[in-house]
Structure 1
Amino acid sequence: MKAPINIALVGNPNSGKSSLFNALTGLNQKVGNFPGVTVDKKTGSARISPTLEANIIDLPGTYSLYPKSADEYVTYDVLLQPDNADRPDMVIIIADASNLKRNLLFCSQIIDLKMPVIIGLTMMDIAKKKGIEIDLAGLERELGVPVVAINPRKNKGLQPLKKNIELVAQEKFVVPAREFIENRLLAPAVIDGVKQIFPVSSDYAALHVAANHEELTFIPEARQHGLRELLKAQNFNKTKVQAEEIMQRYARIKHIMNITVVETDPLQQQLQTERIDNILLHRVWGYLILLGVLFLLFQSIFWLASYPMDLIEAGFGSLGGWLTGVLPDNNWTDLLVNGIVAGLGGIAVFIPQIAILFGLITILEDTGYMARISFLTDRLMRQVGLNGKSVMPLISGVACAVPAIMAARNIENRKERLITIMITPLMSCSARLPIYTIMIALVIPDVPVLGIFNLQGLAMMVLYLLGFVMAFLVAAVMKLFIKIKEKSYFIMELPVYRAPRWKNVGTTMIEKAKIFVTDAGKVIMVISVILWALASYGPSGKMDAVHKEYEAQIAATTDSAAIEQLNRDFSSAKLANSYAGILGHAIEPVVKPLGYDWKIGIALITSFAAREVFVGTMATLYSVGDTEDSDATLREKMAMAKWPDGRPVYTLATGLSLMIFYAFAMQCMSTLAIVKRETKSWKYPVIQFVYMTLLAYVCSWGVFHLFQ
């Protein structure tokens, strides 16, 4: 068996590169970071033939070899650096057949780097609808590299592609001796000089080293100095050379297109995509449809998830009650039932909503509508100091703020990128979903609105829209304070509309639910067990006094109803005098103006590790403090919670206040860590934590007193 070969996938954005990566690697994928940067590194393994295995590297999409963003610089670095650990043995270029002229520019540049290349032509069906016919054999002959028609979404063309990969690996195809254009004639003296100073694979690679050597971190300082001297002596004008290069490449591409491409209808028939865009991107209807899509998204999350959630919740409640009945009454049983089972219930009950949320987002991305959302919102974004590219991190923030903040690196303008990073955590991420769900179920009645909508679903949508609105308001304020002056442009290619890949949707739902259980679940379980210990034990003096007082009263009472009430009071007294109770009562004066009792105060502290810990904390505290209704659900226990004077804790005012607090508060250590890494300073995460905490406190205080 040969050692695995390295294959890099490159191509323009929306060309089908990620689809091919998924088709080749299946579930054999992993995501990390490229060394020294925060750009995602997607790698996977693929079986090419019985004797050949490949490591597939999915490089960030780029339109040409002239990088502008951090993503594009990663692709540039991997392809140019001679000793890069990720340097590929061959490159598969994914090219959109329906936009062949633009895609061939990037193809021609890669070919001139003198690396083994295969071109995979996607979107052949779209090209056919446009009336475009491509002579694949002629295109292969003109370019001098293998060309294969593929449709990775339907697993078509993968076997011919793998056969070509095997032939290239066996050196049956050689790198074309002739360059796409005469690169050497663009700057012969500079190319010769660069080759003497730094080893490169081709004349074209030497041109790129000359043009961008200051940004190429793999070139040592001593050689950087030599390059500066060379370029100064030769009076090298990179802008002029690049402009001449692009003109020559397009002239050759035009010649190739004339020979190999036939357009049966020069005017091109109007595609279904264009007809749909006339409606979905309309200046009035487009925005109404967008609101409708978001509305249906949140209605679906609440409606579809309610059935499995009820089953899971009832199942864990019954399990707790059964274990209490069959196991001996001791501390180990208490730990199992009120610590571990309660914690597991707090995790499992929200798996359906997490899975459904990510599944619906994947459908929006797969169909091509997510890109339209960016286009529609560009004008609105510019009013608050952002641009259309900012909407993708903001929408991604509905799933999780950490990858969303990393996605902001695609924004070239520094000011817009910084504002986007600072406001993204205001978007209601999936970690807030468990809190919204349980509070809405507690304080918002499950009643229809206008006969077809659900009031609880409407409340959920309002919370998510509130995140968008507050993000825009904060961005408008930050626009005034961040003094960075840079012009920005919003250029984006809109992909064609497609049917969603249901297999991909299903895989995403399973993977995201698995991540929630393994990552968030571990934190919830650890905190649940710690909280059980804090809530079950306390200072010996206080706990002994409580035991002595209530045990004496119970022993002196014969009335069963009175004994039952004394047992409830005994349980509450033990919890109030435990370490958790002492901590909660200490912070209660700070949170009481918001309508919260000491148990909610403890949950606010523990959920700083991760917002979803709130539900696990409440599950543990109410389980430890409960003796009779061990098979009751958490919602039922919270609904029965009372203040010392008998008033219910969870009123409409308290529920709304708590939801507003979690909507705006920075309750996530992971997000603060990623902001520090992206901004390379603690200044911005500190500002973010302070402004979001103050905003959450003030707004929740106002809401509580307004509805009280």
Structure 2
Amino acid sequence: MKVALVGNPNTGKSTLFNLLTGLNQKIGNFPGITVDKKTGYCKLSNHVTAEIVDLPGTYSLYPKSKDERIVFQVLADKTNPNYPDLIILVADSTNLRRNLLLYSQVADLGLPMLLVLNMSDMAKKAGLKINTDKLAERLGVRVVAISARKGEGLSTLKEAIAQYTPIATQNRTIDVDIFAPEAIKQIRQKLNTDNSYYALQVLHQHEHLDHFSLQEQEEIEHIEQANGFKTHQLQTAETVARYRHLNTILNEVVLDTGAEKKFQITDKLDSILTHKFWGFLIFFAILFFIFNAIFSWSSVPMDMIEGSFAWLTEYGHQHLPPGVLTDLLMDGVVAGLGGIVIFIPQIAILFGLISILEDTGYMARVTFMMDKIMRKFGLSGKSVVPMIGGIACAVPSIMSARNIENWKDRIITIMITPLVSCSARLPVYTLLISLIIPNERIWGIFSLQALALMTMYIISIITAVLAAWVFKFIIKAREKSYFIMELPVYRMPRWKNVFYTMFEKSKTFVFEAGKVIIAISIVLWVMSSYGPSKRYEAIDHKYEALETKLADSTQVASLERDKAAERLENSYAGILGQTIEPVIKPLGYDWKIGIALITSFAAREAFVGTMATIYSVDSADENAAELRLRDKIAAAKNPATGLPTFTFATGLSLMLFYAFAMQCMSTVAVVYRETKSWKWPLIQLTYMTAMAYVAALIAYQLLK
């Protein structure tokens, strides 16, 4: 049994999908397009299992974006693999009139359907009394009241799905034949259907329906032109007629006993949180709280993880047989993986706090506040959603730009979103900040390190907005953009959802980044441990001759460290690093950092794993295994100057390079997929790399 979830955005449709399917779900793409397709399975009874398809949220069957087109494409084509046996239309109980517009359209298609009134608990709190029996009678469908957030009414809904029989048919709502009678009649005859509303929708949307042949498309177009079919005017007339009909349906069904106080708390909060002065001040205070939490709350678990990996490396070297495999495992795989796992607490805290902001409804307010500012820079308010999402990851954020109807706004958003500092940059920032910024507090409250981290994120956002302003003049388009958004009421976050998000994002970070890191670490260890045989033989002869002249064990140990450093310098990795060193030296980088820059073009996180591998191979000290990564890097000296390799100038230069550089192959791939052209990802790669180099160069030269 195939069941499709249909509903407006922000009705809790995805929450219901997660409740019904649990972990038994997967995300793919609808055939032939890049729109996400969420499917899962739900056991309804001993003998009935349903396949649940979560269709994209839409306010109407008339689409405004690629995602919204999917709904009618699925419902209109019986040969579509996602065509449902039953539709569950999810409506927000607190705003029933607007939600039932979509219901009335789907009902007129004559498809079997259940109406689910979600957020019934919030409707009661708002003083709304909904007579579900009377509503069911007037609509001719079964109505189930639930609260997906609390899991209430779920068993009743499952029973309703399992017991549904296609014999019962819901009442049609309005007479659509009055809008374009002759055109609808001709389409009905052509398609051999008795459903006038399906015929009307085909007239409106046939160019988006792939199951019609080119000849059929031309014939439908001819019927439109012959009858003077005007899409926009007819859509407006239909919507007005539907709302009039819904007023009669909802009369005496919904009793509002708390109309005055319904949004009282939300309105009071909005008067402060969306204020043109206090709103931005509060937003920056929340941002600082998040970045302070990333450092403060994660310090203990990070120290434990770092200590565990140092102990594991030491234990491995002591108890495993000495040789190439042990060195590869301990100094390559374990060192590289340790450089990533240590950042799980920070990633979890970042995603957890962002999830809370989204769940409470605050993130929607940020989008609303930023719209007016964004328009001055060639973006719309809808661009804020991908940009804020970019703090987590650019890949899904770029995909979410599909909801931006205006082509120019969408392309600019795609081009600038990777500039917003993502979670992959977080390990790089926190490592470098811990090296160059003292762990001190101003007035005992403000952490210097948290301020530095927040500054990096603000720099990235300001740069993204300025880049958008430049693209505004470069990219030309005639379309006008608009911004329509519903602000949800404030709610308590769903803690189960928050913890699930933290777990999922941390797991994805480790497994997705981990695969790349381990592969790079193994290759890098081999390149760092081996080099041209003639060079290695010359180094061995040189140090053998020096060792015979020394009797002091301390001098011998020092000589061993010098030998290890020289072998690394003459390894294949060393040769590669020294080849690019002249290009990166003006930025304050040595050849070791150069290697990390190269490897991190696969994934930004690889910087930390690369540094961990290089510095593990670099040291021949017996106590090196016990040292933590930050200690090893902090102790590194520039052989030419004798100063630490990571000075304030070098560290800041490196952070700016990583803030702007396009070091993520996944992002390049998704930009190509979304734009269907190599032109845009290549422009993006070029301008971001150039920006990174120039910014890093200026920072180092001014501060050195």
Measured against the shorter chain, the TM-score band is over 0.9
**Where does residue 224 of structure 2 map in the other structure?**
231
**Where does residue 635 of structure 2 map in the other structure?**
640
**Where does residue 128 of structure 2 map in the other structure?**
132
**Where does residue 702 of structure 1 map in the other structure?**
698
Amino acid of the structure 1 residue aligned with 2:542: E
User: Is it true that 1:260 corresponds to 2:258 in the alignment?
Assistant: no
Change in 2 beyond 3 A, CA 1:144/1:463? same
**Where does residue 497 of structure 2 map in the other structure?**
504
Instruction: Point out where structure 2 has 5 or more consecutive residues left out of the alignment.
Output: none
1:501-522: CA deviations, max 9, x gaps?
1111111111111111211101
1:442-491: CA deviations, max 9, x gaps?
11100011211211111111001111010111111111111112211111
Change in 2 beyond 3 A, CA 1:159/1:262? same
Amino acid of the structure 1 residue aligned with 2:638: W
Whether the 8 Å contact between 2:73 and 2:208 is mirrored in structure 1 is no
Cα distance in 2 between the residues matched to 1:160 and 1:75 = 26
- Of 197-206 and 687-696, deviating more is 197-206
Per the TM alignment, residue 270 of structure 1 is displaced from its structure 2 partner at its CA by: 4.4
- Of 364-373 and 229-238, deviating more is 229-238
Give matches, 1:203-602, under 5 Å: 203-265=196-258, 267=260, 269-602=262-595
Per the TM alignment, residue 271 of structure 1 is displaced from its structure 2 partner at its CA by: 2.6
Cα distance in 1 between the residues matched to 2:221 and 2:324 = 74
Report SS of the residue matched to 1:311.
helix
Whether the 8 Å contact between 2:117 and 2:143 is mirrored in structure 1 is yes
Cα distance in 2 between the residues matched to 1:562 and 1:265 = 85
1:562-586: CA deviations, max 9, x gaps?
1011001010011011101111111
Cα distance in 1 between the residues matched to 2:263 and 2:203 = 44
Match among 39, 44, 52 for residue 40 of structure 2: 44
Cα distance in 2 between the residues matched to 1:200 and 1:442 = 71
Cα distance in 1 between the residues matched to 2:528 and 2:690 = 29
Cα distance in 2 between the residues matched to 1:221 and 1:270 = 51
Report SS of the residue matched to 2:626.
coil
**Where does residue 103 of structure 1 map in the other structure?**
99
Change in 2 beyond 3 A, CA 1:433/1:586? same
Cα distance in 1 between the residues matched to 2:617 and 2:447 = 34
Amino acid of the structure 1 residue aligned with 2:672: K
- Of 636-645 and 611-620, deviating more is 636-645
Whether the 8 Å contact between 1:114 and 1:201 is mirrored in structure 2 is no
Whether the 8 Å contact between 1:134 and 1:261 is mirrored in structure 2 is yes
Per the TM alignment, residue 247 of structure 1 is displaced from its structure 2 partner at its CA by: 2.7
Whether the 8 Å contact between 1:426 and 1:663 is mirrored in structure 2 is yes
Cα distance in 2 between the residues matched to 1:467 and 1:606 = 22
Percentage of matched positions with identical amino acids: 54
Report SS of the residue matched to 1:93.
strand
Report SS of the residue matched to 2:117.
strand
Per the TM alignment, residue 493 of structure 1 is displaced from its structure 2 partner at its CA by: 0.3
Cα distance in 2 between the residues matched to 1:236 and 1:419 = 34
Cα distance in 2 between the residues matched to 1:295 and 1:233 = 62
User: Is it true that 1:673 corresponds to 2:666 in the alignment?
Assistant: no
Report SS of the residue matched to 2:252.
helix
User: Is it true that 1:175 corresponds to 2:163 in the alignment?
Assistant: no
Give the aligned length.
Answer: 701
Cα distance in 2 between the residues matched to 1:466 and 1:218 = 48
Change in 2 beyond 3 A, CA 1:235/1:214? same
Amino acid of the structure 1 residue aligned with 2:338: G
**Where does residue 188 of structure 2 map in the other structure?**
195
The alignment's C-alpha RMSD in Å is: 1.4
Report SS of the residue matched to 1:107.
helix
Change in 2 beyond 3 A, CA 1:270/1:692? closer
Per the TM alignment, residue 269 of structure 1 is displaced from its structure 2 partner at its CA by: 4.5
Whether the 8 Å contact between 1:197 and 1:223 is mirrored in structure 2 is no
- Of 67-76 and 118-127, deviating more is 118-127
Change in 2 beyond 3 A, CA 1:553/1:211? same
Per the TM alignment, residue 47 of structure 1 is displaced from its structure 2 partner at its CA by: 1.2
1:177-220: CA deviations, max 9, x gaps?
x4211223433432332233335572211110012212323211
Per the TM alignment, residue 49 of structure 1 is displaced from its structure 2 partner at its CA by: 1.6
Per the TM alignment, residue 238 of structure 1 is displaced from its structure 2 partner at its CA by: 3.1
1:409-443: CA deviations, max 9, x gaps?
11111111111111000011011011011101111
User: Is it true that 1:627 corresponds to 2:620 in the alignment?
Assistant: yes
Match among 585, 601, 615 for residue 608 of structure 2: 615
Whether the 8 Å contact between 2:587 and 2:696 is mirrored in structure 1 is yes
- Of 212-221 and 195-204, deviating more is 195-204
Amino acid of the structure 2 residue aligned with 1:319: L
Cα distance in 2 between the residues matched to 1:322 and 1:267 = 68
Change in 2 beyond 3 A, CA 1:402/1:347? same
Change in 2 beyond 3 A, CA 1:471/1:319? same
Cα distance in 1 between the residues matched to 2:367 and 2:532 = 57
Change in 2 beyond 3 A, CA 1:356/1:619? same
Per the TM alignment, residue 88 of structure 1 is displaced from its structure 2 partner at its CA by: 1.0
Whether the 8 Å contact between 1:531 and 1:580 is mirrored in structure 2 is yes
Cα distance in 1 between the residues matched to 2:639 and 2:267 = 64
1:247-266: CA deviations, max 9, x gaps?
32122111111131222355
Amino acid of the structure 1 residue aligned with 2:59: Y
Amino acid of the structure 1 residue aligned with 2:626: D
Change in 2 beyond 3 A, CA 1:503/1:618? same
Per the TM alignment, residue 303 of structure 1 is displaced from its structure 2 partner at its CA by: 1.2
Per the TM alignment, residue 226 of structure 1 is displaced from its structure 2 partner at its CA by: 1.7
Per the TM alignment, residue 641 of structure 1 is displaced from its structure 2 partner at its CA by: 0.9
Cα distance in 2 between the residues matched to 1:158 and 1:23 = 8
Cα distance in 2 between the residues matched to 1:517 and 1:371 = 29
**Where does residue 684 of structure 2 map in the other structure?**
688
Amino acid of the structure 1 residue aligned with 2:169: V
Cα distance in 1 between the residues matched to 2:527 and 2:497 = 44
Whether the 8 Å contact between 1:113 and 1:201 is mirrored in structure 2 is no
Per the TM alignment, residue 267 of structure 1 is displaced from its structure 2 partner at its CA by: 4.7
Per the TM alignment, residue 307 of structure 1 is displaced from its structure 2 partner at its CA by: 1.1
Cα distance in 2 between the residues matched to 1:199 and 1:326 = 78
Cα distance in 1 between the residues matched to 2:568 and 2:13 = 57
Instruction: Point out where structure 1 has 5 or more consecutive residues left out of the alignment.
Output: none
Amino acid of the structure 2 residue aligned with 1:384: F
**Where does residue 115 of structure 2 map in the other structure?**
119
**Where does residue 90 of structure 1 map in the other structure?**
86
1:512-551: CA deviations, max 9, x gaps?
1111121110110010000000000000100111111112
**Where does residue 142 of structure 1 map in the other structure?**
138
Per the TM alignment, residue 235 of structure 1 is displaced from its structure 2 partner at its CA by: 3.1
Per the TM alignment, residue 230 of structure 1 is displaced from its structure 2 partner at its CA by: 2.3
Cα distance in 2 between the residues matched to 1:376 and 1:108 = 33
- TM, length-normalised to structure 1: 0.97
Cα distance in 1 between the residues matched to 2:443 and 2:211 = 64
1:373-421: CA deviations, max 9, x gaps?
1001111101101111111100100111000001111111111111111
Match among 3, 6, 14 for residue 7 of structure 1: 3
Whether the 8 Å contact between 2:11 and 2:92 is mirrored in structure 1 is yes
Whether the 8 Å contact between 1:82 and 1:200 is mirrored in structure 2 is no
User: Is it true that 1:75 corresponds to 2:71 in the alignment?
Assistant: yes
User: Is it true that 1:65 corresponds to 2:61 in the alignment?
Assistant: yes
